[in-house]
Amino acid sequence: MTNDTQTSSLKSRLIGLLKKKWTIGLGGLLLAFAGGIIFWGGFNTAMEITNREAFCIGCHEMEENVYREYRNTIHYSNRTGVRATCPDCHVPKEWGHKMIRKIQASNEVLHKILGSIDTPEKFNAKRLQLAQNEWARMKKTDSRECRNCHNYDSMDYAEQNRRGANMHQKGFAEGMTCIDCHKGIAHSLPPVEQAIGVSNHGAAPDVVHPPLPPKPEAEASAPE
């Protein structure tokens, strides 16, 4: 066999080997790409399932306590029919912040297993601590989840009552955020907070005031 023939044969073998490796590499890349899509789709689907209200109230700790309270608030039922569900207020929408919140939720899963708040008595004993933790989180993020719906820049103060418009403008000018005033907007306040009147616009929304007594008959019939 001549040198030219040997060289030609070697080139053919190298080209064939390169084509084979390229095919295998391309196939592996496509397989990895398809696997990544399937994994991401499954992962994202799982995340969306955990972001549904039905998932949030799957534990009786939530269904029997805060969910019952929430159903009696304007966030659940209102004239516009726009409902803010559990994840709308308690789970960030941005992916990075959402993942951090999900990791933090592993501690909540641990306490679910331990039965830390599995009765109304246990839950109410920890209510103040649980509320303070969430208030601190919302304060730290400048009430980020509230502002998904209630954007400061979109507020029309002319459509608000005078007191609300004044308080909003004053609060924003002083660097306050939603949770500074609206602690009792969706859940009952801890007894300590109710006692000191820290709540929505300074009056505990879950405290039911008795009706005023009727006027004395003589006063009611007095001439104008």
List the domain boundaries for the chain.
51-202
Contact present, 111 and 117 (Cβ < 8 Å) = yes
34/77 Cα distance (integer angstroms):
43
Q: How confident is the model at residue 153 (pLDDT cuts 50, 70, 90)?
A: confident
Q: Return the C-alpha torsion angle 49, 53, 54, 59, nearest 10.
A: 100
Q: How confident is the model at residue 176 (pLDDT cuts 50, 70, 90)?
A: very high
Q: What is the pLDDT of residues 90-125, one digit of tens each?
A: 999 998 999 999 888 888 888 888 999 999 999 999
Planar angle of CA 19, 24, 26, nearest 5 degrees: 90
How much is the pLDDT for 133? 93
92/87 Cα distance (integer angstroms):
8
CA atoms within 13 A on the CB side of 115: 2
Q: To the nearest 5 percent, what fractions of the chain are helix, strand and coil?
A: 65, 0, 35
Instruction: Find, among 171, 157, 223, 174, the residue nearest to 200 by Cα.
Output: 171
Q: What is the pLDDT of residues 48-97, one digit of tens each?
A: 888 899 999 988 889 999 999 999 999 999 998 999 999 999 999 998 99
Contact present, 138 and 145 (Cβ < 8 Å) = yes
Question: Which residue type does 35 have?
Answer: G
28/25 Cα distance (integer angstroms):
5
| 220 contact partners, CB below 8 Å, separation of at least 6 | 214
Contact present, 170 and 136 (Cβ < 8 Å) = no
User: How many C-beta atoms lie closer than 10 Å to residue 12's C-beta?
Assistant: 10
